[in-house]
A and B are shown apart, each in its own frame.
Chain A
């Protein structure tokens, strides 16, 4: 898994690619929680377009990010969900709790 961050005014966009599983989910969780809990960025956006695979460890990291965002009053937005990611989120029945946008433009504008 690869993760990089871009900053746009008070928004941080994480571009994530590859597989999010038991081996790699800590690499996702750490920067997400730092961005929200320590840096207090008011809007954190995750670009998941290039994510090939996600399992329950990855979903758990997203849920942790969402909970951290709620704790500090920030927004936590996902966009670019491909079939694989969408299927797993739907299977988890947690898809409804996330703010999901179709595009980056929508995620930063709304």
Chain B
């Protein structure tokens, strides 16, 4: 793993009580990276929902299982778009996630639940799930705002 671009690493327990602290840290990080207020809120929501999914589905609500989250500044190339981006990788050692469930559900259905994945997709520019040696990895990417051109250019 490339440590040079590491902005923040979190080692958490799968306890819902930790979510509030994570949101605070992500809000500060995204603000420091220059994201707009709506973008900061979007990234906070995306990370919160990803952690909620791990706690609920990968760990079935057990509050003492390990979760690691790495935040890196990377050069990304996605669907013809290139640029600097924030990469967030969430890793757990829970059960294998059913990929069919990663599709979310039709929003026309008025029912509680199933919104988390939709929120993650809407909040981030890319989402990628991998299973590696007994671990689930969810990679989220959000392009950083382009810096303003120098005055007079």
Contact = CB atoms under 8 A, between A and B. Distances in A.
Contact of B16 (A21, A67, A94, A97): A21
Contacts of B16: 21-23
Interface string B109-153: 011110110110011000000000000000000000000000000
B87 interface: no
A12 interface: no
B111 A88 contact: no
Interface stretch (B5-13, B48-56, B77-85, B90-98): B48-56
Interface string A17-54: 00101110000000000000000000000000000010
A93 B16 CA distance: 25
A22 B122 CA distance: 19
Contacts of B38: 87
A21 B41 contact: no
A91 B19 CA distance: 20
B107 interface: yes
A22 B55 contact: yes
Nearest to A24: B16
B45 interface: yes
A19 B118 contact: no
A63 B52 contact: no
Nearest to A23: B16
Given A59-B115, A60-B115, A63-B110, A88 B45 contact: yes
B19 A56 contact: no
A95 to B, nearest CB: 11
Question: Interface SS of chain B: helix, strand, loop or mixed?
Answer: helix
A91 B45 CA distance: 11
A61 B119 CA distance: 16
A34 to B, nearest CB: 17
A61 B16 CA distance: 16
Nearest to A18: B20
A57 B19 CA distance: 12
A36 B26 CA distance: 37
A4 interface: no
Interface centre among A55, A88, A93 (most CB of B within 10 A): A55
B23 interface: yes
A99 interface: no
Contacts of B123: 91
A103 interface: no
Interface of A: 19, 21-23, 53, 55-57, 59-61, 63-64, 66-67, 84, 87-88, 91-94, 97
